[in-house]
Structure 1
Amino acid sequence: MAIIREVKAAKLLMGKLAHGADLLEEITKICVDHDIYLGRVEALGAVKKARLGYYNQHVQEYHFYDLNQTLEITTLTGNISIKDGVPVVHAHITLSDKDGHAYGGHLAPGTIIFACEVVIQVLNGPMFERGLDQETGLPLWKMNE
């Protein structure tokens, strides 16, 4: 059974991320600096290289792979919640190469920005805290009915 909570839009932040910075770390730093504990994020631009993850459901662990090439960010979407008392960004990304081939997965540290424009929607509502979900092995939102 789905467990849903109502949240309300509070404000919208838009900006350009630093060339050469780590994409996930930059977005997380914005959240920490602006005390954002609940929200959603989207971005587009380009990266110098990427590190993506895929969650293997059978062994319940992430496997990461590197793309050591320049790529366009065609989509980055994610959410912001809390884990261990600090903001955490959970984002997935789709990238394309010079021939239009797409790569996607869980955004991991090691994805280096060439150019990136980001939008963060800050939300007001109940705390969404991550904790270990026994069924999946993932750090999912702990939501009691």
Structure 2
Amino acid sequence: MTCVGSITKATLRLANATASNTNQIIHLNKRFEIVSLVGTLNKVPHLHICLSDEDGHTVGGHVLSDLEVFTTAEIVIGECKSLHFTREMDGHTGFPELIISARSEKA
């Protein structure tokens, strides 16, 4: 639901990457403030982050790996018990896309 904190390392895929061209990746190795962290935590986490440097310039993207906390990461996580989250491959984007459905009630 929300996150504040700081990191010293991250590997991000930028927005212009495609399934066939995933080389739009940046490796960050300095201190950044976490401005935003959003996504879903399912079998495979899908997170996007926005970071601010010492001059207030921001960079953001899909978190691939190496997200290393500097001082703290205060993360608030919410649960949607009435919803079921899955992923299905999308032929148009080439990525597994989020599918949200009502969770079936068990007798």
Does the alignment reach a TM-score above 0.5? yes
Contact 2:18 2:94 in 1 (8 A): no
Counterpart of 1:108 (choices 51, 64, 67) is 64
Q: Which runs of 5+ in 2 are unaligned?
A: 102-107
Q: TM-score, normalised by structure 2?
A: 0.79
Match of 2:3 in 1: 43
Match of 1:79 in 2: 40
Contact 1:43 1:118 in 2 (8 A): yes
Match of 2:91 in 1: 134
Tell me the distance in 2 between the aligned counterparts of 1:123 and 1:105. 24
Tell me the distance in 2 between the aligned counterparts of 1:143 and 1:96. 31
**1:1-145 alignment to 2 at 5 Å?**
41-56=1-16, 60-62=20-22, 63-81=24-42, 87-114=43-70, 115-142=72-99
Tell me which moved more, 111-120 or 46-55: 46-55
Write the letter of the residue equivalent to 2:31: T
Tell me which moved more, 61-70 or 105-114: 61-70
Contact 2:19 2:94 in 1 (8 A): no
Please report the RMSD computed on the Cα atoms of aligned residues, expressed in angstroms: 2.1
Tell me the distance in 1 between the aligned counterparts of 2:39 and 2:55. 26
Contact 1:57 1:136 in 2 (8 A): no
- Which structure has more relative contact order (CA 8 Å, sep 6+)? It is 1
Write the letter of the residue equivalent to 1:65: I
Tell me the distance in 2 between the aligned counterparts of 1:142 and 1:71. 32
Q: Which has the higher helix share?
A: 1
Match of 1:19 in 2: none
Flag the 1:43–1:61 CA change in 2: closer, same or farther, 3 A.
farther
